[in-house]
Amino acid sequence: MLYPKDTQTREVKDLSGIWRFKVDRHNTGRADMWHMQPLQDTIPMPVPASYNDMTQDASIRDHIGDVWYETFFRIPRSWSGDRIMLRVGSACHHAVVWVNGRQAAEHKGGFLPFEADISEAVEYGMENRVTIVVNNVLTWQTLPPGRIKTFDDAKHPEGYRIQEYFHDFYNYAGLHRPVKVYRTPAAHIRDVTVTTDVQDGTGLVTYRTEASEAGAAVRVRLVDEEGRMVASGTGAQGTLRVENARLWKPLQAYLYTLHVELVGDDGETADHYMLDIGIRTVRVEGSRFLINGEPFYFKGFGKHEDSDIKGKGLDYAVNVKDFNLLKWIGANSFRTSHYPYAEEILDLADREGIVVIGEVPAVGFTFFNYNDKVYTPDQANDETLAHHLDVLNDMIARDKNHPSIVMWSVANEAATFQEEAVPYFRKVAETARVLDATRPLTLVQWALPDKCQVAQFFDVVCVNRYYSWYADPGCLDLVEHQVEWELSGWHRNFNKPVIMSEYGADAIAGFHQDPPVMFTEEYQCEMLQRYHNVFDRLDYVIGEHVWAFADFATKQGTTRINGNKKGVFTRQRQPKAAAHMLRRRWEQMAVTPKWSGR
Ligand code: BDP
């Protein structure tokens, strides 16, 4: 799905701003057709943003069900005759959209965009009303999954409900990414797919375009960062050759711009789209992850889209700060734990040369007990799998052209030790490979190496493990023994490169004790250091992603003290002691890479 852009033939209106908002206290608004007229008794609500932390009203924060958004926009008369699209960047988790009371779109899944052709629904030159109902309920047929708990006892008032979910990050909801209206010509470019290869210094840029009309004439040109055209071609698909190509490299990004034009019968440009691309290769070979043929060691974090007040709302300032912190600390990568991030973040990663592992929102597919079944007819069932495949498809369709993304993660900590996981993840892996044959695949493991039944379907083993925290709390002296025992098990059983994709300890900024105890900054440092001692000894360990980049909001519970404090930075992006420790380590690794002998 193409990101909306202003080009020679296209124009975008961003509807970000203050919308009208109303909580549907009894979830009756759909039946009462609230979309048929302007909403009554609304409060102001920013878009994009999560609504949860925006007011002082806990009943808004904790509401289970529908909330309503509404705004007004004008389409100039000059847009008449064009194709007018409405695009929602992300609505967590289900949404129905009406324009002037007429249904335009319905979508399930909170972390990916959807759009609708509203050419017939809008009035040109006049004011148009868009109404969006957003629902935050998680079930076993959504990603991530959840369930509504009801009570049948005298301690709870009748009808009392709780939204349960099996991941820790807070279930923020609302319109998290911009809503845009844009126009394209009626005959338009529908999609562009680019893959790249390098042969003896020559970059090969293979492109495939899809147009609204089959057989439409297409011309393309590739322009470098200085604005020079380095290759051109014609035809709906083809391969451009770039002599002495500047490669997209980790922390040394170089982007070319591919201009795609649909050519009308008169030879004029009927539609024009521009895509930034990077020329690079990615391959797993033996126990190495190769980017442009060079072994790459992942240094970085699992992150979240999460910040004060806005929750999961897109925030350019926070995003730029985060990339500056990544560079400051010497990181070269992150995982989009545990859902596809905003396209605007991936654009920054492309530009800054930060390597990304893109993840689908399949998190919470385990009960942390080997015997509690996850894949049952009323939990992770065929409908869940079908949705999982849809989301995978939509994520790859949206993100396939980002050079920063080098691998897909199809799930986080799924119960891969249950035999029902085998057909489930075989299907997921097969589908991912059909959708994208160019990028390696992983599934982030919680199972132990002797129990996992699906790692053979994937190219890289990613493992999350919290030795001396959830297991043997306080026993720092066990960490090295246990990490080495586990990682060597993965290597022995599957013979694939291994990334420690999560390891870490909660540290409350300002808590100190030496010798270290849990929740202090000293403990966080000491634990990370002991993991690192093992990583440095094991040749097949190809990366370390600390959990987590920054502290983040979680659901309430006895193991969380106003959020998850495993951040190396606070939620306000201030460094804890561990950040300085990591910075020293990662800067040193830049000087002396792990496999410097190669
Ligand atoms: C892992 C999850 C991550 C959690 C982390 C934790 O992948 O989302 O936040 O544990 O408990 O299991 O801190």
427 vs 439: CA distance, rounded Å: 17
User: Are 470 and 387 within one domain?
Assistant: yes
Q: Is the separation of the CB atoms in 406 and 438 below 8 Å? A: no
The tokens for 201 are 């210094």
Residue in this structure with the two tokens 């079908």, named with its chain if needed: 386
How much helix, strand and coil, in percent to the nearest 5, is found in the chain?
20, 35, 45
Judge whether 521 lies within some domain.
yes
566 ligand 1 Cβ < 6 A: yes
The pLDDT of residue 221: 98
The pLDDT of residue 225: 98
306 ligand 1 Cβ < 6 A: no
Residues 6+ apart with CB under 8 A from 9: 184, 185, 269, 270, 271, 272
Q: Which of 115, 502, 521, 526 is catalytic?
A: 502
Q: Ligand 1, atom 4: nearest CA belongs to which residue?
A: 168
User: Are 442 and 503 within one domain?
Assistant: yes
Ligand 1 centroid to Cα of residue 245, in Å, is 41
167 ligand 1 Cβ < 6 A: yes
413 ligand 1 Cβ < 6 A: yes
Residues 6+ apart with CB under 8 A from 120: none
Residue in this structure with the two tokens 């490299």, named with its chain if needed: 249
Q: Which of 115, 261, 305, 413 is catalytic?
A: 413
User: Partners of 238 in the beta sheet?
Assistant: 207
Residues 6+ apart with CB under 8 A from 456: 494
Ligand 1 centroid to Cα of residue 504, in Å, is 9
The tokens for 585 are 């380590």
Query: Cα angle at 419 between 415 and 425, to 5 degrees?
Result: 65
CA 168 to ligand 1: nearest atom: 9
168 ligand 1 Cβ < 6 A: yes
For the entire predicted model, the pTM comes to 0.98
* CATH number reported for the structural domain that contains residue 434 in this entry: 3.20.20.80
Judge whether 162 lies within some domain.
no
596 vs 594: CA distance, rounded Å: 6
Residue type, 92: C
Q: Is the separation of the CB atoms in 356 and 333 below 8 Å? A: yes
Count of the separate structural domains present in the chain: 3
Ligand 1 centroid to Cα of residue 407, in Å, is 20
User: Are 344 and 270 within one domain?
Assistant: no
Phi-psi category of 17—alpha, beta or left, where left has phi over 0 and alpha has psi -120 to 50? Answer: left
Alpha helices in 292-449 (DSSP H): 316-329, 343-352, 382-399, 421-435
Is the torsion defined by CA of 409, 413, 418, 424 positive or negative? negative
Which of 301, 502, 519, 566 for mutating ligand 1's site (highest number of atoms within 8 Å of CB)? 502
The pLDDT of residue 381: 96
Residues 6+ apart with CB under 8 A from 239: 204, 205, 206, 207, 233
83 vs 98: CA distance, rounded Å: 17
Which of 462, 464, 500 for mutating ligand 1's site (highest number of atoms within 8 Å of CB)? 464
Ligand 1 centroid to Cα of residue 566, in Å, is 9
In the three-class reduction of DSSP (H, G, I as helix; E, B as strand; rest coil), residue 148 is classed as strand
CA 413 to ligand 1: nearest atom: 7
176 ligand 1 Cβ < 6 A: no
Residue 24: how many other CB atoms lie within 10 Å: 18
User: Are 214 and 111 within one domain?
Assistant: no
Q: Which of 65, 54, 71, 73 is nearest to 134 (CA)?
A: 65
The DSSP H or E segment spanning 104 is strand 102-108
Ligand 1 centroid to Cα of residue 465, in Å, is 9
Ligand 1 centroid to Cα of residue 355, in Å, is 21
Ligand 1 centroid to Cα of residue 500, in Å, is 13
Domain that holds residue 274: 189-280
User: Are 275 and 346 within one domain?
Assistant: no
DSSP 413: S
User: Are 275 and 350 within one domain?
Assistant: no
Distances 395 to 142, 170, 360 between C-alpha atoms, Å: 15, 22, 7
Q: Is the separation of the CB atoms in 129 and 38 below 8 Å? A: yes
CA 337 to ligand 1: nearest atom: 8
| Backbone φ and ψ of 115, nearest 5° | -145, 165
Between helix 382-399 and helix 343-352 the angle, nearest 10°, is: 50
User: Are 539 and 391 within one domain?
Assistant: yes
483 vs 527: CA distance, rounded Å: 11
281 ligand 1 Cβ < 6 A: no
User: Are 342 and 371 within one domain?
Assistant: yes
Q: Which of 81, 344, 346 is nearest to 188 (CA)?
A: 81
| 413 is known as an active-site residue | yes
The pLDDT of residue 408: 98
Q: Largest alpha-carbon pair distance within the chain?
A: 78
2 vs 22: CA distance, rounded Å: 31
Ligand 1 centroid to Cα of residue 215, in Å, is 49
The tokens for 562 are 């106003």
Judge whether 287 lies within some domain.
no
319 vs 313: CA distance, rounded Å: 11
Q: Ligand 1, atom 11: nearest CA belongs to which residue?
A: 168
Judge whether 468 lies within some domain.
yes
CA 564 to ligand 1: nearest atom: 13
* CATH number reported for the structural domain that contains residue 255 in this entry: 2.60.40.10
Alpha helices in 419-478 (DSSP H): 421-435
177 vs 311: CA distance, rounded Å: 11
| 430 is known as an active-site residue | no
Judge whether 453 lies within some domain.
yes
The pLDDT of residue 598: 40
Q: Is the separation of the CB atoms in 554 and 564 below 8 Å? A: yes
CA 412 to ligand 1: nearest atom: 7
CA 504 to ligand 1: nearest atom: 13
User: Are 425 and 550 within one domain?
Assistant: yes
User: Are 272 and 421 within one domain?
Assistant: no
Which of 167, 518, 547, 551 for mutating ligand 1's site (highest number of atoms within 8 Å of CB)? 547
The pLDDT of residue 214: 87
Judge whether 326 lies within some domain.
no
Which of 369, 549, 564 for mutating ligand 1's site (highest number of atoms within 8 Å of CB)? 564
pLDDT tens over the chain, length 598 residues: 999 999 999 999 999 999 999 999 999 999 999 999 999 999 999 999 999 999 999 999 999 999 999 999 999 999 999 999 999 999 999 999 999 999 999 999 999 999 999 999 999 999 999 999 999 999 999 999 999 999 999 999 999 999 999 999 999 999 999 999 999 999 999 999 999 999 999 999 999 999 999 889 999 999 999 999 999 999 999 999 999 999 999 999 999 999 999 999 999 999 999 999 999 999 999 999 999 999 999 999 999 999 999 999 999 999 999 999 999 999 999 999 999 999 999 999 999 999 999 999 999 999 878 889 999 999 999 999 999 999 999 999 999 999 999 999 999 999 999 999 999 999 999 999 999 999 999 999 999 999 999 999 999 999 999 999 999 999 999 999 999 999 999 999 999 999 999 999 999 999 999 999 999 999 999 999 999 999 999 999 999 999 999 999 999 999 999 999 999 999 999 999 999 999 999 999 999 999 974 4
Judge whether 146 lies within some domain.
no
Residue 402: how many other CB atoms lie within 10 Å: 18
Q: Is the separation of the CB atoms in 195 and 206 below 8 Å? A: yes
Judge whether 469 lies within some domain.
yes
User: Are 513 and 370 within one domain?
Assistant: yes
Residue type, 109: G
Q: 313-321 — which CB contacts under 8 Å span 24+ positions?
A: 313/46, 313/48, 313/49, 313/50, 313/174, 313/176, 313/177, 314/48, 314/89, 314/176, 314/177, 314/178, 314/342, 314/344, 316/344, 318/573, 319/344, 319/345, 319/348, 320/348, 321/573
Ligand 1 centroid to Cα of residue 141, in Å, is 21
* CATH number reported for the structural domain that contains residue 55 in this entry: 2.60.120.260
User: Are 514 and 402 within one domain?
Assistant: yes
The number of residues making up the chain comes to 598
Ligand 1 centroid to Cα of residue 50, in Å, is 21
464 ligand 1 Cβ < 6 A: yes
The tokens for 197 are 């290869």
Mean pLDDT for the chain?
97
279 vs 293: CA distance, rounded Å: 13
